[in-house]
Structure 1
Amino acid sequence: MNKSIIKEITPLTPNDCFTIFSRVKKEFNFPLHFHDEYELNLILNAKGAKRIIGGHIDVIGDYELVLVGPNIPHAWFTHECTTEITEITIQWHKDLFDDRFLSRNQLSFIKKLLEMSARGVSFPPEAIQLVLPRLQQLSQRSGFDSVLDLISLLHDLSTSRNIIALSDTSFLNSQSYNYNSRRLDKAFQYMNENYQKEISLIDIAKLVNMTEESFSRFIKKRTGNTFISSLNEIRLGHASRMLIDTTHSITEICYLCGFNNISNFNRLFKKKKGCTPKEFRENFSGVRVFV
């Protein structure tokens, strides 16, 4: 992890279920950071602020609600925001809801939401409007009822339509993702370990004992991406890491990540990230630590 990305030690103790902060401020001044806990962050009246989660960078609107999984680098920056900002942040231990608890049928939607949060999850406006009063009330409550409120809140968010996963899967630890398929796990592990080499559909199909056609259909059905898109996403994820963590030139990173054409690398990067590799590096290098 880059030294400019700090690990936050949250005030949660082992005896707590979660903590919630509600504050009004004129600017964002906390640096790019990560922590062991889940974080649900509601931000109001911050149009023009910049948000970074994993490998995803965006400028936000008047209000947003984002769920961030454990140990994902994230931060909000004032950028072009000129208004007074309201922020409500909920953090809870990553083992508050263990796998056995979440495996129950009634909790399947929450389980899926928490799995998605490994990439950072953004909720649509209609979901925000639905839970906004409850989030505001939760910041004023305590005790057992507030734990039930949190579970209910997560369930309602988990059933929302148009939820968006933000960061590339490969920007973080690829082991965080579970496609409920040994074949896909094996394929993604191989691609993550060999992304710098030439990898063909034939190679992966043979690896998982499938025909090329069958594997193409299989990966598209399970992930929503084609084989090539999945491989490029992994390579771009590793390129994002290198842009942050190394001083390699952009051309060097292009070839180190398995791309054999710098113009193609730049085009794919901008299409996926919304900025050029140079702009991406500058966005991260501009982060300052105020501790």
Structure 2
Amino acid sequence: MRGIRETIHPPGGHSFRLLEWSQSLREVDSVISPGRTVRVPGAGNHWHFHPEMELTLFHTGQGTRFVGDHIGPFAAGDLVLLGERLPHYWHPKGASSGISVQWHFPDDHPFWGFPENLVLAELFKRSGHGISITGKTAEAVSSLMGELTKSMGTGQLGIFLIILARLGRASGRDLRLLSASAFNLPSESAHQAAMAKAVRHLIASFRDEVHLEDVLKITGMSRATFARQFKRHSGHSFSGFLNRLRLQAACRELEKSDRGILDISLACGFPHVSFFNRLFRREMRCNPTDYRKRSRARKA
């Protein structure tokens, strides 16, 4: 697997890149103008980061979202703002579609020469945690993102600025930080590719018995180096990341199936139901049975 730093080039004559996909995050189109697109390599389907900020909206699809040290579910309508060099990854279950905007406005960018834009500095800083956008703000921004694909030139830039303005004045209840820690990884790192391989292996294998020794062989790293770099890049220890993956899978099973707690814990990779129950109560602040009841009550 290649290094996890994605290289982004806005099309000529554009200050940001607008992407669309209709089936898979591996098959992404860069929108040049209304009705004109160019296929570009998609990176959203694996763990990666880039210097650019990103605003991503899923029209359809569901699965697991990884943003910094956050691991959680996503569904259609999911709208997330990502800061610079913040590692992220969407793992859809099946097909998905959506739209994404990517831009890079460092401190010396002309964007900051307009005093009206200075109010966005705090939003951009908070985006280092990843921000989930909901409520009326999400409704307004999602609609505006759709308008971006129908516009070009100054009109498209104007819509983009309106999107940023809408985010900048959003109600606090519409913005939720995702990652407990802010990330800003260096542009280049000798450990990027190895960490991507480790994350990919854990996501593919978490339901089975996973051994650290196998991951060390995959990455070619010593135990001490792996522990240090994995924590730096994912925000979790090896076991902590693995347990979060398993917990998210268990939560989905509790919401969507009538399987017993023991069956779910074993199917999601927990060898002992007693450990599963303790971890679930600690992380979810309730027991699995209550979680199932609450989730179904919300949907009723």
Among residues 89, 101, 104, which one is paired with 2:112 in the alignment?
Answer: 101
User: Which residue number corresponds to residue 57 of structure 2?
Assistant: 42
Using a 3 Å threshold, how does the CA distance of structure 1 residues 62 and 103 change in structure 2: closer, same or farther? Answer: same
Specify every segment of 5 or more residues in structure 1 that has no aligned partner in the other structure, as ranges: 175-237, 252-262, 275-291
RMSD (Å) for aligned C-alpha atoms: 4.0
> Structure 2 matches for 1:46-85, cutoff 5 A?
46=61, 48-79=62-93, 82=94, 84-85=95-96
Counterparts of 1:198-277 in structure 2, within 5 Å, are 241-242=230-231, 250=239, 271=283
For residue 19 of structure 2, what is the amino acid of its counterpart?
Answer: F
Q: Which of 11, 23, 46 is the equivalent residue of 1:31? A: 46
Q: Describe how 1:160-175 pairs up with structure 2 within 5 A.
A: 160-161=170-171, 162=173, 163-169=175-181, 171-172=183-184
Change (3 A) 1:249 1:90: closer
Once the two structures are TM-superposed, the CA of residue 156 in structure 1 deviates from its matched residue by 0.6
* 1:91 counterpart residue number: 102
User: Aligned partner of 2:73: which letter?
Assistant: V
Relative to the length of structure 1, the TM-score reads 0.54
* Equivalent position amino acid for 1:41 in 2: T
**What residue is the counterpart of 2:207 in the other structure?**
none
One of 3, 7, 10 as aligned partner of 2:8: 10
User: Closer, same or farther in 2 for the Cα pair 1:158/1:132, shift >3 Å?
Assistant: same
Q: Which residue of 2 aligns with 1:140?
A: 150
By how many angstroms is 1:69 displaced?
Answer: 1.0
Cα distance, 1:133 vs. partner? 2.2
State the Cα distance separating 1:63 from its structure 2 match: 1.2
Contact 1:171 1:240 in 2 (8 A): no
Structure 1 position 131, deviation (Å): 2.1
Structure 2: state its 5+ residue gaps: 27-43, 187-226, 241-274, 287-300
Deviations 1:186-216 (A, max 9, x none): xxxxxxxxxxxxxxxxxxxxxxxxxxxxxxx
Match for residue 128 of structure 2? 118
Would you say the 8 A contact 1:5–1:34 is kept in 2?
no
Query: CA shift at 1:98, angstroms?
Result: 3.8
Shift of 1:112: 1.6
- Report the AA paired with residue 115 of structure 1: K
Q: Deviations over 1:149-200 (max 9, x none)?
A: 11111111221122111112355469xxxxxxxxxxxxxxxxxxxxxxxxxx
CA contact (8 A) 2:147 2:159 kept: no
1:19 offset after TM fit, Å? Answer: 1.0
SS of 1:242's equivalent in the other structure is helix
The 10-residue stretch of structure 1 (164-173 or 84-93) with the greater mean CA deviation from structure 2:
164-173
| Counterpart position of 2:202 | none
2:103 maps to a residue whose letter is: W
- Specify the SS of the correspondent of 1:9: coil
Overall identity of the aligned pairs, in %? 20
| Shift of residue 126, structure 1, vs aligned partner | 2.0
